[in-house]
């Protein structure tokens, strides 16, 4: 595939790409709001993320290895810039499936002088990141530009102030350490030449009392397909990562492993009338990136209703459903 023919993801695709990438780093993450930039909470800290598709640098630039994104002040972007909070600009190149990040502080300095800026990277650095997990180069302005695989997005966000100060050897060591710690709930602090790095992998364990209460309320059956066979799990509607995510039964659903995964990954959702619906935006994104095999299994349950507990007290709280859909990046919901 040539660069000009590369897959271009639209803003909805990019939102779900960010959600999926952050969930690989920690369970303690959720979408807050926004339309590029998007606002996320990651390990209790809030970030604005503006993301663009990376493309060729255009006519008049002689380096064939050069690529870029262009970023302009806009009605959506200006409030994030004015807050002086964590504002991150990312490029994404689908051919290599890697993000590229520029130093946020240098970006702000450039926006003080111009309304539109171009941020340049290198195709070769992105290829190296796709092969080795992470890669960087230093441009003529002494800026370290870092490319990395999606599973390291949370690691980058948590440490962006230090990451741009690390050399290639330290960066590779950093992702190795992150991989090492990612199998369990962990908090680790590292130091690279006086640059502090934090690695926080949060893996929530479900309270066994919550699990049993949800199982009993739903008669040990998946609320979507009715299967038992010891394949069920207790799913939180509002996840633990949000302070509103309680262990009350009305914040839970009994789901089989397939539908639990589909629900947590925003493939399906429940509307305010308990209809089970396919998230068309997420499906279109997966079709675009070639990860839609098995879609017919989900289509079989679309537009059916949730099988609710007999006790109304145990039925999903409508407010929880509203919160959960927003946190999972689901919008334009119809209750018809």
H-run or E-run covering 277? strand 275-278
Classify 100 as helix, strand or coil: strand
Q: What is the pLDDT of residue 335?
A: 39
Q: What is the pLDDT of residue 59?
A: 65
Q: What is the mean pLDDT of the chain?
A: 87
Please report where in the chains the tokens 């908090």 appear, as a residue.
187
pLDDT band, residue 303 (cuts 50/70/90): low
pTM confidence score: 0.83
- Token pair for 2: 């040539």
Distance, CA of 191 to CA of 199 (rounded, Å): 11
145-189 pLDDT, tens digit per residue, is 999 999 999 999 999 999 999 999 999 999 999 999 887 778 889
Q: What is the pLDDT of residue 302?
A: 61
Report the phi/psi class of residue 133: left, alpha or beta, with left for phi > 0 and alpha for psi in -120 to 50.
left
Classify 181 as helix, strand or coil: helix
pLDDT band, residue 35 (cuts 50/70/90): confident
- Alpha-helical regions (H) of the chain: 11-23, 77-83, 104-111, 123-132, 153-163, 168-181, 208-217, 257-264, 280-288, 295-299, 318-327
């Amino acid at each position: 595939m040539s660069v000009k023919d590369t897959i271009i993801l639209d803003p909805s695709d990019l939102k779900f790409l960010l959600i999926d990438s952050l969930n690989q780093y920690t369970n303690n993450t959720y979408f807050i709001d926004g339309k590029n930039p998007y606002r996320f909470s990651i390990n209790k800290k809030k970030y604005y993320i503006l993301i663009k598709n990376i493309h060729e640098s255009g006519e008049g630039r002689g380096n064939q290895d050069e690529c870029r994104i262009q970023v302009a002040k806009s009605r959506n972007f200006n409030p994030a810039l004015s807050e002086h909070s964590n504002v991150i600009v990312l490029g994404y190149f689908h051919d290599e499936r890697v993000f590229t990040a520029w130093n946020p502080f240098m970006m702000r300095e450039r926006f003080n002088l111009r309304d539109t800026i171009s941020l340049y990277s290198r195709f070769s650095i992105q290829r190296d990141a796709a092969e080795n997990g992470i890669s960087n180069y230093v441009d003529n302005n002494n800026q370290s530009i870092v490319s990395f695989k999606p599973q390291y997005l949370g690691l980058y966000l948590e440490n962006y102030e230090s990451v741009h100060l690390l050399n290639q050897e330290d960066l590779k060591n950093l992702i190795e350490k992150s991989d090492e710690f990612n199998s369990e709930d962990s908090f680790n602090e590292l130091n690279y030449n006086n640059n502090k790095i934090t690695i926080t992998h949060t893996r929530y364990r479900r309270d066994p009392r919550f699990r049993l209460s949800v199982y009993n309320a739903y008669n040990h059956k998946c609320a979507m397909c009715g299967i038992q066979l010891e394949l069920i799990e207790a799913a939180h509607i509002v996840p633990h990562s949000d302070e509103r995510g309680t262990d009350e039964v009305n914040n839970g659903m009994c789901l089989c492993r397939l539908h639990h995964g589909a629900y947590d990954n925003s493939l399906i959702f429940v509307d305010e009338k308990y209809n089970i619906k396919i998230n068309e935006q997420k499906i279109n994104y997966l079709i675009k990136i070639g990860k839609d095999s098995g879609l017919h299994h989900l289509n079989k349950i679309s537009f059916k209703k949730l099988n609710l507990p007999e006790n109304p007290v145990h039925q999903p709280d409508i407010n929880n459903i509203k919160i959960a859909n927003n946190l999972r990046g689901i919008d334009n919901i119809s209750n018809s």
